[in-house]
Structure 1
């Protein structure tokens, strides 16, 4: 596909995410929450794997597209409800992205591949899914770990970190240990992974 199609797809994904009514403050600037997340995902991918395939680039930008449209509290507030919400979100993100890619002129095989990636199929077996998952985990550790630390006790946090760690590749682990954490959070990570 041409660069123009890729750029147009990215612009359309950004336009959707810019509609997020939830605002996040970062370095004293207000951003629509999912637009900021999308930018972080893409930047982290380019930093982690500059030669990533085009379908992974698009999947990284669209990972949470229009996430606010399916509220967590519209599902039962238990583990089963949480897992159902996550599953429905993946399908919704994939479908929303597929519609954009079709509009831009991507072929069915490319769209199917992006859908496969956003739905995180065959983690640990598929190189593209693993790459996307590494980036998701790295973005979580760099930008979203601290808010979690404020909300949960130490043991729960160690459990969350270990689950995140176990989803990552060895390359992801190497990269994760070089992220700019606070001294306390780096200590917490090391305790969680037994380093």
Structure 2
């Protein structure tokens, strides 16, 4: 597809797709690594948690479904649409998920999403993962703006965003549907220092 832009893209096309998705170290001895087939049981189990179900309406129904998602995640990387990682400890224990998606290389913008399992909550795991992803996306890849949104009722996610340096920019009214109806969504963003 030919683009008729008056400015060059912030990130050149093909920058990431030609290389393997990286493993990213994070504080507290955490690793962000691409999902592996053996992670399917842990991934499916996470979606049985009431809090994860409360905030995520797209849910896998079986391990086979999870593996389809993992295939989709690999395609996202190969087509430069996004990247998805398991948040793990050194022993491989899956503590959560973090992703960046909706990549716009022309403007240098991407979204961020995350969840952590109950045992990892309140220990800074999500914050460490968001910070590590942010450093990679901005300093290594060159994204200029990263954003995330969450229900205004999800106070834990708001704390993670704020602690990770994502400023609250406003409220998107009635912007998402959850199991209990429509929710207003907070929009947070972080801008690369230039």
Normalized against structure 2, the TM-score is what? 0.32
Higher helix share: 1
Normalized against structure 1, the TM-score is what? 0.32
